[in-house]
Amino acid sequence: MEKVLIAGQWREASASSSFQAANPATRELLEPQYPVSNWEDCDEALTAAATAAAALRNLSGSQIADFLEAYANDIEEHAEAIVDMAHAETAYPKETRLAGGEMPRTTNQLRQAAAAARDGSWALPTIDTATNIRSVYGAIGPVCVFGPNNFPLAFGSASGGDFAAAIAAGNPVIAKANSSHPGTTKLFAECAQRAALATGMPAGMVQLIYRTNHADGERLVSDARTGATGYTGSRQAGLKLKQAADLVGKPIYLELSSVNPVVILPGALAERGAEIADEFTGSCLMGTGQFCTNPGLVLLLAGEYTDQFVKAITSKFAEAPVGTLLSAGVEESLASNLQVLVNAGAEMLVGNAAADAGRFCYANTLLKVTATQFLSDAEIMQTEAFGNSSLLLVAESVDELAKVVSILEGNLTGCIYSDSTGTDDDAYDQIASQMRMKVGRLLNDKMPTGVAVSAAMNHGGPFPATGHPGFTAVGIPGSLLRFGMLQCYDNIRPHRLPGILKDESPNGTVWRNVDGSWTQANLT
Amino acid sequence: MEKVLIAGQWREASASSSFQAANPATRELLEPQYPVSNWEDCDEALTAAATAAAALRNLSGSQIADFLEAYANDIEEHAEAIVDMAHAETAYPKETRLAGGEMPRTTNQLRQAAAAARDGSWALPTIDTATNIRSVYGAIGPVCVFGPNNFPLAFGSASGGDFAAAIAAGNPVIAKANSSHPGTTKLFAECAQRAALATGMPAGMVQLIYRTNHADGERLVSDARTGATGYTGSRQAGLKLKQAADLVGKPIYLELSSVNPVVILPGALAERGAEIADEFTGSCLMGTGQFCTNPGLVLLLAGEYTDQFVKAITSKFAEAPVGTLLSAGVEESLASNLQVLVNAGAEMLVGNAAADAGRFCYANTLLKVTATQFLSDAEIMQTEAFGNSSLLLVAESVDELAKVVSILEGNLTGCIYSDSTGTDDDAYDQIASQMRMKVGRLLNDKMPTGVAVSAAMNHGGPFPATGHPGFTAVGIPGSLLRFGMLQCYDNIRPHRLPGILKDESPNGTVWRNVDGSWTQANLT
């Protein structure tokens, strides 16, 4: 049985059961066994995290940055082992996805987070000299991170976006591994623990448990010692955690589900239909469709060019190799959610059948509905079928298309393709005004997959895409704000102010809002 | 029966019952009757608000600023009538409190909100030129505002801080009047409606209902058409609304309860005990103690100077005139919550008795406990007794004091008084490090009442002071962020970008973060 990392020690878990990951390419269970921790492990992790949180408040952003950079370096030294393990646990291709994609994204993200911690501008320091009131976002306390199955590296609970943001904001992290890739998470935690020791971080800076039962998960996110939680995963499990945390006012940031509507207007199809068919197929089948921003709902207007487009992508889906899915659970959910859509009246264009029995997978699938069908059963029709599938909707008019967009649930992204000469512009305006309120990120002429780690990124959106439309899970420094509390200092004696709020800038680089203007200068 | 304001029309309510306000100075009911609206009123208000929200998205911040300024002007033209009505409904003194205090605060706040809307910097526009991704906080949708009883003007649901912030962020407001001062709220809504007409705002910009039943309140905050809610009021009612909104992921910002701990260290008492006794008495009895930031828990260290201080404030409380309370409900809650503390073992020093039977009031009250008593029953001991009362806690050591602070619930404010020569400094450090995590605003040598409308203010704090420690309800522009959603534009064609994100600055004043630096310049 693998050991958990609690209070700086790799130790036997307090566990009453265990689980194993599986190799998606063979359906075979992988050694070793990982513990399902009892509350005792959670409790001890929380105590250690609270102690670490107090210690971290006495460290500078620069010291935390040292840790994050040492961690990124350590990951790079162990990259091959991590990639091997992640490949075994996820079946993602090593070169193009893991080593060449997620790995540099992960270390870059940690280094960007380090730079943000060192600089401090993320915390929006604000000084009102007339009243001598000063405020800044400060560390919120221990952060629990529940990572998703689909990004073992770049969104891993001990290595990814939530982790980097929580640490850079000055908080210790309790990582709950995803059951699809516990071994990968363990390797990251080993790197983190080495880096923490090397840079003098408190024990309990990064802790790892692999799994708990649901009740203990709910206790964890609502415990008095917890500061906040980041969760990416299934809507059902997430909503239970949200309810527990909300009841006691503990911030919880969740990424729950998103079908990512893509509107393709007729002028765009007339102009470059074949190109868009390639783009869509690539975006929808890449990574076997296992992206939060997978284009799961394509909105089209009835007509000749749409018929051609549907025909083209149907062929492409039939011909494209069938990718491997992450787990038996993903395979089962994909099949059953597609069945929900079919039961509601969606027409099967291609796929919707079991594929290779020797691995986790399901045929590349396209379903089709009319706007009338969709509108008559809108909640069911928005069922997310996570994986290599998409639902096409064909409307009879722009008004009908706009009506569909207006009743959508919240989504992470929404795309609109239009032609370059302006014939689609009236339709664009009508649809975009509805779409804008339904999505966190609006795109033109571009598929939604590919989430740049940019300061202007919003990987978020209205419920149920996330739990609050004001926050992003990707992008630095924005994502750090989730893990800060607003701390105001009123008439505090100058020597007692935190460095970032003293008259003299701590580093000459931090942007501070002084009497309404942003400046990097000292107060005069 | 008074009329409600829905969709730009003053019209008969759909109501099955009614209520009256009372004059706190006489306990007599005031004419007229106000309707308790049925769901039909809420539903129609939501529909009108949704239409208004869509129209507002096509207006500039400058046009919204015009409305806010016209509204502030209209209020000033009708200030005498508003003050008269508020005086009748709250018994607050006209000159010192209403006309001289809340009224200018209210109009200043509206004008600050106008300036923020016109400028746009509140929305943190962020541009990443390398990826051509741009983001900004945009209007979240219709905002429901439930105002508190204790600020009929400056935090009124159709005139106060939440209102100003929601409108300035580009949202229509559905105001739910506080039952203590419906007439005051109605006068404000009349001013707002005139200003909305004069400045071409959509019907449904500001709507007013007076009261609903609890179930309809919960429907209102969780309705699909609602963008967000601002609530200030009782913890019990607020938590029910929070639960309803949380279940469907609708942001709700609540100010629920706060005892506002004040630590007074012995050196400070030795140095200026008499002065602090005056400060405390003034802060605690001002406005009959009916402030969110009333100093309701005073933490002291056993010793000679503390004995003198307790004696001094006990005399002052006995001698000070007994103020009038806002309602029968406040009077009853104060008496019953003080009884909870006494039943838990608190010693009565002064007061804790009915006072003048001819008006709503209760004797100025001080209770006292030991730290041991407090720690043994900490949840009960943190019962907020809203009004002219405070609980004194005397600890035997700094360690014990720090322990008490470490187990406090979240509060809006926390104050620490220390001497000027440094003898209290070790104790300060120990206590402040605990206090910092428990409060939104930390103060030195200053009582917590008096909440400046400052850009650096945080009128917020960890649960249950509020529902999320990352937001402030007072202060412009910070308070506007509660009513914005993060909107990202990825590869959007330049002419389709909102003005605030175009290469050319819309006004030359808005601060935008371009590639990590804040600037007011155009993109080059």
Q: Which pLDDT score, from 0 to 100, does residue A495 have?
A: 97
A125 CB-near residues (< 8 Å, 6+ apart): A134, A135, A136, A500, A501, A510, A511, A512, A513
Q: CA B129, CA A454: separation in Å to the nearest integer?
A: 10
Backbone CA torsion sign across A443, A326, A473, B226: positive
Q: How much is the average pLDDT of B244-269?
A: 98
Q: Are residues B205 and B352 in the same domain?
A: no
pLDDT tens for B446-494 read 999 999 999 999 999 999 999 999 999 999 999 999 999 999 999 999 9
Q: B137 at the A interface (CB within 8 A)?
A: yes
Residue B15 included in any domain: no
pLDDT of residue B210: 98
- DSSP notation for A102-169: IHHHHHHHHHHHHHHHHH-GGG--EEETTTTEEEEEEE-S-EEEE--SS-TTTT-TTTSHHHHHHHHT
Residues B120 and B238 grouped into a single domain: yes
Picking from A480, A469, A468, A472, the residue whose alpha carbon sits closest to that of residue A140 is A480
CB B153 within 8 A of CB B97: no
The stretch A141-158 carries a mean pLDDT of 98
Inter-chain CB proximity A490 and B463 less than 8 Å: no
- Out of B242, B440, B452, the one facing A486 most closely (by C-beta) is B440
Q: Say whether A373 sits in a helix, a strand or coil.
A: helix
A486 with B470: Cβ contact below 8 A: yes
Q: Which of B257, B453, B485 to mutate to test the interface with A (most CBs of A within 10 A)?
A: B485
pLDDT attached to residue A335: 98
pLDDT in tens, A192-251: 999 999 999 999 999 999 999 999 999 999 999 999 999 999 999 999 999 999 999 999
Contact assignment for B493 to A54 by CB distance below 8 Å: no
Q: Using a CB-CB distance cutoff of 8 angstroms, which residues of chain B are in contact with residue A481?
A: 470
Q: What residues of chain B, 4 to 33, have a C-beta less than 8 Å from chain A?
A: none
Q: Token digits for A82?
A: 């991590």
In a domain, B70, yes or no: yes
Domains of chain A: total: 2
The residue among B472, B486, B520 with the most chain A CBs within 10 A of its CB, best to mutate, is B486
CB distance A488–B428 less than 8 Å? no
Q: What does the pLDDT look like over B154-200, one tens digit per residue? A: 999 999 999 999 999 999 999 999 999 999 999 999 999 999 999 99
Q: Which residues of B does the annotation mark as catalytic? A: 255, 292
Does any domain span residue B489?
no
d(CA B196, CA B203): 8
Average pLDDT over residues A449-454: 94
My answer on whether B321 and B176 are in the same domain is no
Same-domain check for residues B265 and B240? no
Residue A524 has pLDDT above 90, yes or no: no
Does A316 lie in the same domain as A212?
no
Whichever domain contains B204, its CATH number is: 3.40.605.10
Mean pLDDT over A11-32 rounds to 97
Q: Which whole-number Å values give the CA distances from A220 to A486, B174, B461, in the listed order?
A: 23, 37, 21
Please indicate whether, in this complex, the C-beta atoms of A487 and B458 are within 8 angstroms of each other: yes
What are residue B227's phi and psi, to 5 degrees?
Answer: -90, -50
Instruction: Judge whether B274 lies within some domain.
Output: yes
Chain A residues close to B141, C-beta within 8 Å: 437
| Residue B410 to residue A127, Cβ atoms within 8 A | no
A133 touches chain B (CB under 8 A): yes
Instruction: List CB contacts of A500: < 8 A, sequence separation 6 or more.
Output: A61, A120, A123, A125, A136, A506, A510, A512
Is B488 close to A441, i.e. CB distance below 8 A? yes
Is the ipTM value over 0.85, yes or no?
Answer: yes
Question: In degrees rounded to 5, what are phi and psi of residue B120?
Answer: 90, -5
Do A237 and A271 belong together in one domain? Answer: no
Candidates B134, B248, B442; nearest CB to A489: B442
Residue B278 sits in the same domain as residue B248: no
Residues in B closer than 8 angstroms to A421, CB to CB, are none
Domain membership of residue B282 (yes or no) is: yes
Handedness of CA A60, A157, A282, A436 (dihedral sign): negative
Q: What confidence score (pLDDT) does residue B460 get?
A: 98
- A462 interfacial to chain B (CB closer than 8 Å): yes
Note whether A181 and A77 are same-domain residues. Answer: yes
Residue whose structure tokens are 């009960």: B380
**How many other C-beta atoms can be found within 10 angstroms of the C-beta atom of residue B336?**
11
Q: Which of residues 40-79 of B touch A (CB under 8 A)?
A: 54, 57
Same domain, A273 and A216: no
Overall residue count recorded for chain A in this entry = 524
Catalytic choice (A255, A271, A384, A400): A255
Using CB atoms, pick whichever of A133, A452, A518 lies closest to residue B456: A133
At residue A252, the pLDDT reads: 98
Assigned domain for B450 exists: no
Contacts of A490 in chain B (CB under 8 A): 441-444, 446
Dump pLDDT digits (tens) for B332-375.
Answer: 999 999 999 999 999 999 998 999 999 999 999 999 999 999 99
A292 is catalytic: yes
> Cβ of A455 and B516 within 8 Å?
yes
What is the distance between the alpha carbons of residues A464 and A460, in angstroms, rounded to a whole number?
10
State residue A147's pLDDT score.
Answer: 97
- Percent of chain A at pLDDT above 70? 100
- DSSP reduced 3-state for A466: strand
pTM reported for the whole predicted model: 0.98
Give the percent of chain B with pLDDT over 70: 100
Instruction: Report the CATH number at residue B356.
Output: 3.40.309.10
Distances (CA, A) of A153 to A162, A188, A240, A290, A477: 12, 9, 25, 14, 20
Q: Which domain holds residue A77?
A: 4-255+471-481
Q: Please state, in angstroms and rounded to a whole number, the distance separating the CA atoms of residues A356 and A389.
A: 16
What percentage of chain B exceeds 90 in pLDDT?
Answer: 99
Residues B78 and B148 in one domain: yes
| Beta carbons of A469 and B454 less than 8 Å apart | no
Question: Which DSSP letter does residue A325 get?
Answer: P
Buried b / exposed e over A427-438, threshold 16 CB at 10 Å, is bbeebbebbbbb
pLDDT tier for residue B524 given thresholds of 50, 70 and 90: confident
Are residues A227 and A269 located together in one domain of the fold? no
Q: Which of A292, A331, A361, A384 is catalytic?
A: A292
Q: Indicate whether A451 belongs to any domain.
A: no
Q: What is the pLDDT of residues A305-332, one digit of tens each?
A: 999 999 999 999 999 999 999 999 999 9
Contacts of A463 in chain B (CB under 8 A): 248-250
CA angle B69, B136, A113 (to 5 degrees): 135
Query: B146: number of CA atoms within 13 Å, CB side?
Result: 24
A488 inside 8 A of chain B by CB: yes
Does A186 share its domain with A222? yes
Structure-token match 């009236």, residue found? A426
Please compute the mean of the pLDDT values over residues A104-125 and round it to a whole number: 98
Cβ-Cβ pairs closer than 8 A, A with B, add up to 197
Say yes or no for a CB contact (<8 Å) between A517 and B496.
no
Q: What is the mean pLDDT of residues A43-65?
A: 98
